[in-house]
Structure 1
Amino acid sequence: MSASFCIGAANHIDYVKEKLDQEFRLLENDGIKISCEEGKKGDYVFLEYNIADYGEAGYSEEDTKNIFKHYVANAVSDIIVNNWERTLLEEIIRENYYYFSKEEQQTISEFALKHLNLGHENGEAMYEQLSRKSLILRRVLEYLQTNNNIVIEGFIRFRLKEYIEELTKIAEKAADDYLLDKEYKEFLHLLKYFVDIQEPRLDVVQVLIQPSGMFKLLDASNKSINCEYLDGFIVELGDSELNYEDLLISALITIAPTTIILHCREEDKMLTSIDTIVGVFGERVKYCGGCELCRENEVHLQKH
C-alpha cells in the first residue's frame, strides 16, 4: 500500500514522531490503525504513515483520510510552534542583527522569548500563540489538499511567510527592548556615579507612597524634608508630596542619603521609580517591614 502521508525533518524528529503517534492514538479509539515506516536520506529523517485499517466506525475512506489530514495538520502546527519557533527567532535575529555581538544577540533572543512568553501562563500571550498555531494549521490543511508529503523546514520557508513576518516583528520589538534596556542601564550607571561622589546630606530618607500614588519624603524623625536640602528642587507640592517620579529620583540623588527606607506595599515594588531607586542606591535601600506610617497609609488606601 502506498504511503498515505510522509513527513520529513532534519531537526526535532523524535518529537515529530512522538507528537504524531500521540495524535494517531486518538484515531485508534475508532478502530483506525496507522502503520509507520522510518527512513533516512542525508540529514533528513522521513516518516511514512499508512492507514492500515479503516476500522468499523462507519466513516467512508474519503472521510477517514480527511480526519487523518486534520490530525496531521494539528500535529505539525503544534510541532512548529513548540519546537521550531525558538530556533526560527534565533535565526531571524542572527540574520537581521548580525552587527550585534553574539552576547547581544542572545540578550535580544531572551527579550523575544519574553514576548512569546514561552513557559509562562499569560492570557494575552496564550491567545497570540493560539493565533500563530491557527495560521499554521490553516496553511498545512491547504497544503495537504494536494500533497501527501511535507518537509517541515521547507514548508516553513516557502509556505509560512506570514508566520515568519510575525516572528520578524517580534524580533524587531525585542531589539528595541534591548536598546532601551541598554540605555536604561547606562542611565542607572551614571546616576549611581553621581550618588557615589557626593557626601550624604541626610543619613536617612524615608519614601512614603501616598494613596494617590504620589510620594512623600520624610527624615528619620518622620518629619517632611525641607527644600533647603534640595538645592532649588521644587518638592513642597502641597503637603511635601512629589507627584513626578523623575523629581523623586532627582531629589534622592541630590540628598544622597546613607539609607533609604521605602514604605510601600508589595505591589508598589513593581513601580518603575522603585526599581530605579533600587538600581541606583543598591544596598542603601531598605524596605520597611511594617510601621505606624505603613499602617496609617494602609488605612488611607482602604478608604480610597
Structure 2
Amino acid sequence: MELFAIALMNVEESYVRSLSAQVKQALQHLHIAQNGLTATYTWSETRAFIYVEAEAGSVIHDPHIHEVQVRACLAEVLASHIVADKESNILRNLITKDFKYEKQSDIESIEGYCKQSLTQESELEGLPLMNSSPSRLRRMGLLKEQINALLEENPQISLDGFLKFRIQEYREELREIAEYAIDEFMMDRQYQEFISLLQYFVYIQEAKIPAAHLIHKGGHEFVILNDRMELIDANEFDASFRMEMLEKDINFEDMIVSTLITVSPANIYIHTRDPELTIIKTIGQIFEDRTSVCSYCRTCDLYLGDAKKQDQLSP
C-alpha cells in the first residue's frame, strides 16, 4: 500500500537510487512493531518517483496507525538531503542571480564566507535568524516543519516544486547569510586593496632612518623606538601620508602603521610575545622583507620581561 510519494524531475537514476536508499534506511530505524515499511522507486529521464509503501499484513497497513511517525521520518530525510545536497546550489543562485555576481573567483570567495557562516554554531552579529540554535539544526528544523505540513496536506510531494515555492523562510535565512558573506567579502577586498596601496607606497619610498624597533608590551600597548633605542617622534617627519591615512576607516591600529610609513625605516624589528596578533601580521604584509619578528632577544627581555620566567609563572 502506498503511503507517500516523492516526485523528482530530470534527475539521474543514481541520484534517485541513492535518495530512495536513504529513505528506506530511515524507515527501517522506526520503532514500529512488525515494520513492513519499504521504499521503492521508478525512473525515467524526465520524471522519477520514490514511494513509501507498507507491505500487506503489516501493522502499518492501517493508514491511521503510526502515520505521524512515518511522515516525520520522511520529512527528516528530505530536510537533511536538501541541506546536504541542495543548499550550496540555492546559495550560488542567490549570489549570481539576486546579487548579480558573475566573476567565478568572486563567487567562490563569497561561497567560502557562506560556508563559514553555515557551520558557525555561535551567534553572529547581524544574523538574528541564526541566534536561537546551531545553524544547521535550525535550517533543518525549518525544512522539516514545512515538509511535514505539506505531507499532511497531500501524501505526494514534488521536491522541485517544494524548493521553488515552499521554502520562503528557509531561503530568507540563506539570503541573510549570503548578504553577510558579501559584506565580509567586500571588507576583505577593500582591506587587501588598501594593503596593496601601502605596499606600493613603501616600495617607492626611500628609507629615512636605518631601523625602528616596534615594542609590543601587550594588548594594544606599543612603543616605537629608533636605532638608538629612543622614542620616535613622527612629527619630525613629513606627516602628509599619515594624516591622509588616519581618515581611512581601516580596522587595525592605523596610528602604528602610519607612523612606520611616515618614518620609513630600512628595517623594522618587532619585539612581541604574540606574533600572531593581527597588527603584527599586517605590518609584515605591508613592509614585507623589511620586517623581522623577535621574541627572545635582549631588547625583548628588557621591555617585555624574561620569557623563561614568564613561562614558569604561567599556569
Q: Which residue of 2 aligns with 1:285?
A: 291
TM superposition shift of 1:189: 1.4
Which of 114, 117, 131 does residue 115 from structure 1 map onto? 117
- Report the 3-state secondary structure (helix = DSSP H, G, I; strand = E; otherwise coil) of the residue aligned with 2:218: coil
2:273/2:295 contact within 8 Å kept = no
- Report the 3-state secondary structure (helix = DSSP H, G, I; strand = E; otherwise coil) of the residue aligned with 1:258: strand
- Does 1:192 find its partner at 2:199? yes
Tell me the amino acid that sits aligned with residue 253 of structure 1: I
> Deviations 1:121-141 (Å, cap 9, x if unpaired)?
744477122111111111111
Query: After superposition, where does 1:224-239 map in structure 2 within 5 Å?
Result: 224-227=231-234, 230-231=237-238
Q: Which residue of 1 aligns with 2:253?
A: 245
Tell me the amino acid that sits aligned with residue 261 of structure 1: Y
Which of 72, 75, 91 does residue 73 from structure 1 map onto? 75
CA shift in 2, pair 1:103/1:69, >3 Å: same
Distance (whole Å) between structure 2 residues aligned to residue 270 and residue 13 of structure 1: 50
- Does 1:48 find its partner at 2:51? yes
1:259/1:284 contact within 8 Å kept = yes
- Report the 3-state secondary structure (helix = DSSP H, G, I; strand = E; otherwise coil) of the residue aligned with 2:64: helix
Tell me the amino acid that sits aligned with residue 283 of structure 2: I
TM superposition shift of 1:161: 0.8
Q: Which residue of 1 aligns with 2:305?
A: 296
1:27/1:33 contact within 8 Å kept = no
Which of 36, 41, 61 does residue 38 from structure 1 map onto? 41
Which of 19, 22, 33 does residue 19 from structure 1 map onto? 22
Q: Which residue of 2 aligns with 1:255?
A: 263
Q: Which residue of 2 aligns with 1:239?
A: none
Distance (whole Å) between structure 1 residues aligned to residue 34 and residue 266 of structure 2: 75
TM superposition shift of 1:250: 0.2
- Does 1:97 find its partner at 2:104? no
Tell me the amino acid that sits aligned with residue 245 of structure 1: E
Distance (whole Å) between structure 2 residues aligned to residue 202 and residue 297 of structure 1: 29
- Report the 3-state secondary structure (helix = DSSP H, G, I; strand = E; otherwise coil) of the residue aligned with 1:62: coil
1:78/1:133 contact within 8 Å kept = yes
- Report the 3-state secondary structure (helix = DSSP H, G, I; strand = E; otherwise coil) of the residue aligned with 1:199: coil
- Report the 3-state secondary structure (helix = DSSP H, G, I; strand = E; otherwise coil) of the residue aligned with 2:29: helix
| TM-score for both structures, normalised by structure 2 | 0.77
- Report the 3-state secondary structure (helix = DSSP H, G, I; strand = E; otherwise coil) of the residue aligned with 1:27: coil
- Report the 3-state secondary structure (helix = DSSP H, G, I; strand = E; otherwise coil) of the residue aligned with 1:171: helix
| TM-score for both structures, normalised by structure 1 | 0.80
Provide the aligned length of Structure 1 versus Structure 2.
287
Distance (whole Å) between structure 1 residues aligned to residue 230 and residue 57 of structure 2: 83
Distance (whole Å) between structure 2 residues aligned to residue 171 and residue 287 of structure 1: 38
1:31/1:54 contact within 8 Å kept = no
CA shift in 2, pair 1:48/1:209, >3 Å: same
Q: Identity of aligned pairs, percent?
A: 24
RMSD over equivalenced CA pairs, Å:
3.3
Distance (whole Å) between structure 1 residues aligned to residue 187 and residue 233 of structure 2: 35
- Report the 3-state secondary structure (helix = DSSP H, G, I; strand = E; otherwise coil) of the residue aligned with 2:50: strand
Contiguous gaps of at least 5 residues in structure 1:
235-243
1:81/1:133 contact within 8 Å kept = yes
